[in-house]
């Protein structure tokens, strides 16, 4: 995912690119992130 963050006082813009591990996310979430099409 890509996110954009802007600081209100200075107006500085920062972009953050993230790669998510669904297996790791499932360890902390009650939601199953399995295949979308079965």
Distance between CA atoms of residues 9 and 4, nearest Å: 16
Taking the whole predicted model, whether its pTM rises above 0.85 is answered as: no
Q: Which residues of 8-34 are buried (b: 16+ CB within 10 A; e: fewer)?
A: eeeeeeeeeeeeeeeeeeeeeeeeeee
Assigned token pair, 22 = 């669904």
Q: How does pLDDT run along the chain (38 residues), one tens digit per residue?
A: 899 999 999 999 999 999 888 888 888 888 877 776 66
Instruction: Write down the pLDDT at residue 38.
Output: 60
Q: Can you tell me the distance from the alpha carbon of 2 to that of 10, in angstroms, rounded to the nearest whole number?
A: 21
| Count of positions (residues) in the chain | 38
């Amino acid at each position: 995912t890509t996110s954009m963050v802007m600081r209100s006082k200075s107006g500085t813009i920062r972009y953050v690119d993230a790669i998510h591990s669904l297996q790791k996310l499932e360890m902390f979430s009650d939601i199953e992130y399995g295949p979308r099409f079965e």
